[in-house]
Amino acid sequence: MKQALRVLLAQTDIVWENPRENLDRIERLVTIHLSTEPDLLILPEMFSSGFTMRPEQVADADAVSWMQQRAFDWRISILGSLVESTMSGYRNTVFLVAPSGAVRGTYSKVHLFGQEREHYQAGENLLIFEVSGFQATVFICYDLRFPEMFRAACARGVEVFFVVANWPAVRQSHWKTLLPARALENQSFVCACNRVGKDPDNSYLGGSSVYLPDGRTLLELGCEEELQLAVLDRSELESFRSSLSVLADRRQKVYRCWDSELDV
């Protein structure tokens, strides 16, 4: 089993509703950082378009093809959210692409925010996958506010949570509070990739970051466009979990009784 996972966070300034420009921009930036030898590249929410409520303008299978080709060229896994067009409508979907170029899985955002509900369909399933020996999952932006999702994934063996976002500056303090909380309460790594810049409705302060299983900050980016590598060491996970038996001390039967009484 590998003892480390090398994650490259791409905190980009997304050009509004311009997939071609965004893909070219990411390609230029990532190429410069390939010498860091990442295992996985994580991109912000809707990295090719911005958080648009006009999915019909930007839904484009070419962006998935671009992910597949770049993953193959760079020999790394890529994780990023796109506007996905399906037979029944549009979804805000993360694609996980392997170094072979194959799509290993997808996750569609479960918790839709505000007007997003009028333009996108919500997902209902977890995506749990292995990367460099770690069990991982991914959530999108507003999902961060729902600890139930994180605990459900943790109960299924997840050790690393990836969060991709267009988290606005007006709620940046929430971002900085919730991320370490999700790490600490689940004794897991949290790797979060936000955007910077502006769109027609919001400005973004980045703050992409990686938190250790004890809630300490491993890496935190500023408010400018930048890429940084974080190395997740398995010993940090094992040491903290063995020192504090929070996960083993959960009382699932009691919680289920409460859920039943509350009819939730």
Active site residues: 45, 109, 141
Show Cβ contacts of residue 252 under 8 Å, excluding neighbours closer than 6 positions: none
Rounded Cα distance, 218 and 16, in Å: 31
Q: Label each residue of 208-253 as H, E or C.
A: CEEECCCCCEEEECCCCCEEEEEEEEHHHHHHHHHHCCCCCCCCHH
Show Cβ contacts of residue 67 under 8 Å, excluding neighbours closer than 6 positions: 78, 80, 95, 97
Q: Please count the helices (runs of H) and the strands (runs of E) in the chain.
A: 8, 14
Tell me which H or E stretch contains 150. Answer: helix 147-155
Q: Position 194: which residue type?
A: N
In the chain, the DSSP E strands lie at 4-11, 40-42, 77-86, 89-97, 103-108, 128-131, 134-140, 160-164, 189-193, 196-198, 203-205, 209-211, 217-220, 226-233
Q: Give the C-alpha distances (Å, rounded to integers) separating 179 from 84, 127, 147, 217, 235.
A: 26, 19, 10, 10, 21
